[in-house]
């Protein structure tokens, strides 16, 4: 049994392990090649987050989904590079929108070079992803375009907030389905499709990946509050400090409205205030960590991970299916 990929995923078959490791190594080479430019400064900026590392969660899903067809098909690695480049591009843009100073343990591009360079570097990565995508055929272009539309729509909905009378939690889950789930769904779809899997298998893996992607983000929401360290790649409380209403906060608001508890209302008010002070943030984190809203958010994470696992039921039993099931457990463990 060998540990590969994010979360310490254990692969129990040597052939599968070899395929996944070789695929991820080829993706890494492809990312470095795709981010090269004739202008050295562009190369430096474009490779900034590539070289900072990351879980490569999406490429891993491409490799595992490809096991349900021909895992050596020529389009698999390029499609994984496309998905990861797109993800990286969104990180450059997200950091500008969030005014983030750190990403993956290094200075964010906007902190290092300014907002204009960060936005344009993200655009450069989108362009390089599109260039690779064009060689994968019109169907791949259409799938990527539709997913990107959903991703941007999710980002806009997050910025706009829920419409009058709309349940905040439902709105947030819709945001995550677009902003996070859509691109992770493409990872499963591309892996299976490029490997020549049948249409039913492609659909199953697409649905699985979208639900897993939502669970993955919900686990990050929980970690932002529950973690004492840096398991999510961010300093605990970052989302709270930036005023981002993640699921535990939304569940708190929901419970405060239902219970009328003075303590809950006070905590909601604190969350809506200035949390730039470290002591104030630590106080709020301490209260949230023991609040039932955090446990509710954990249960929501488990529900989406279980939904993802259920999607896999029609697939034949194999080592790749077991690895995908283990990813569901790993996501839940992160939020545990």
Checking phi first, is residue 234 left (phi over 0); if not, alpha (psi -120 to 50) or beta?
beta
162 and 23: one domain? Answer: yes
Structural contact between residues 92 and 119, judged by C-beta atoms closer than 8 angstroms? yes
Structure tokens at 209: 């990946």
Query: Has residue 8 been placed in a domain?
Result: no
269 and 150: one domain? Answer: no
Q: How far is CA 63 from CA 21, 60, 78, 255, 330, in A?
A: 9, 5, 11, 41, 18
Domain coverage including residue 306: 200-336
User: Each residue of 236-267: pLDDT tens digit?
Assistant: 788 888 888 899 999 999 999 998 889 999 99
Examine the pLDDT at 138 and tell me if it is beyond 80: yes
In degrees and rounded to multiples of 5, residue 201 shows phi and psi of -65, -40
Average pLDDT in the 196-217 region? 97
In degrees and rounded to multiples of 5, residue 293 shows phi and psi of -60, -35
142 and 250: one domain? Answer: no
Burial (CB count <10 Å: 0-12, 13-18, 19+), residue 325 = middle
298 and 185: one domain? Answer: no
Query: Has residue 6 been placed in a domain?
Result: no
**Angle, vertex CA 112, rays to CA 109 and CA 113, nearest 5:** 80
User: How does residue 233 score in pLDDT terms, banded at 50, 70 and 90?
Assistant: low
How many CA atoms lie within 13 Å of 229's alpha carbon, on the beta-carbon side? 3
176 and 85: one domain? Answer: yes
Query: Has residue 65 been placed in a domain?
Result: yes
Examine the pLDDT at 1 and tell me if it is beyond 50: no
The last residue of a domain, from among 197, 221, 248: 197
112 and 250: one domain? Answer: no
Q: What total number of domains does the chain contain?
A: 2
DSSP state of 228: S
User: How does residue 230 score in pLDDT terms, banded at 50, 70 and 90?
Assistant: low
For residue 316, give the CATH number of its domain: 1.10.600.10
Structure tokens at 95: 């950091």
Number of other residues whose CB lies within 10 A of the CB of residue 267: 22
- The three-state secondary structure class of 54 is coil
Number of other residues whose CB lies within 10 A of the CB of residue 12: 12
pTM above 0.85, yes or no: yes
d(CA 281, CA 245): 15
pLDDT of residue 3: 46
Structural contact between residues 48 and 109, judged by C-beta atoms closer than 8 angstroms? yes
Query: Has residue 7 been placed in a domain?
Result: no
Q: How far is CA 181 from CA 4, 46, 279, in A?
A: 22, 24, 35
Structure tokens at 180: 């996070």
Query: Has residue 4 been placed in a domain?
Result: no
Query: Has residue 174 been placed in a domain?
Result: yes
Structural contact between residues 183 and 147, judged by C-beta atoms closer than 8 angstroms? yes
134 and 233: one domain? Answer: no
Of 1-10, 43-52, 98-107, 129-138, give the lowest mean pLDDT range. 1-10
Element (H, E) at 329: helix 319-334
User: How does residue 109 score in pLDDT terms, banded at 50, 70 and 90?
Assistant: confident
């Amino acid at each position: 049994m060998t540990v590969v990929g994010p979360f310490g995923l254990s692969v129990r078959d040597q052939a599968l392990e070899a395929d996944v490791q070789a695929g991820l190594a080829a993706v890494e080479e492809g990312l470095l090649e795709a981010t090269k430019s004739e202008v050295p400064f562009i190369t430096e900026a474009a490779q900034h987050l590539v070289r900072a590392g990351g879980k490569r969660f999406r490429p891993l899903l491409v490799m595992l989904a490809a096991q349900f067809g021909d895992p050596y098909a020529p389009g698999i690695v390029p499609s994984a590079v496309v998905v990861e480049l797109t993800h990286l591009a969104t990180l450059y843009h997200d950091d500008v929108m969030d005014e983030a100073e750190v990403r993956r343990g290094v200075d964010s591009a906007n902190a290092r070079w300014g907002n204009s360079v960060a936005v344009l570097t993200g655009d450069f990565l989108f362009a390089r992803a599109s260039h690779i995508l064009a060689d994968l055929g019109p169907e791949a272009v259409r799938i990527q375009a539709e997913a990107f539309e959903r991703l941007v729509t999710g980002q806009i909905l997050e910025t706009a907030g829920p419409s009058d009378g709309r349940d905040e939690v439902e709105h947030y889950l819709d945001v995550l389905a677009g902003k996070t789930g859509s691109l992770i769904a493409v990872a499963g779809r591309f892996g299976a499709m490029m490997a020549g899997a049948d249409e039913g298998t492609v659909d199953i893996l697409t649905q699985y990946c979208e639900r897993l992607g939502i669970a993955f983000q919900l686990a990050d929401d929980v970690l932002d509050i529950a973690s004492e360290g840096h398991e999510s790649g961010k300093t605990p409380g970052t989302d709270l400090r930036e005023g981002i209403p993640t699921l535990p906060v939304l569940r708190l608001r929901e419970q405060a409205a239902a219970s009328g508890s003075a303590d809950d209302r006070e905590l909601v008010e604190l969350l809506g205030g200035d949390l730039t002070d470290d002591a104030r943030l630590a106080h709020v984190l301490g209260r949230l960590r023991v609040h039932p809203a955090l446990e509710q958010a954990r249960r929501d994470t488990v529900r989406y991970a279980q939904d993802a696992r259920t999607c896999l039921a029609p697939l034949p039993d194999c080592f790749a299916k077991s690895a995908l099931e283990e990813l569901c457990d790993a996501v839940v463990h992160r939020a545990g």
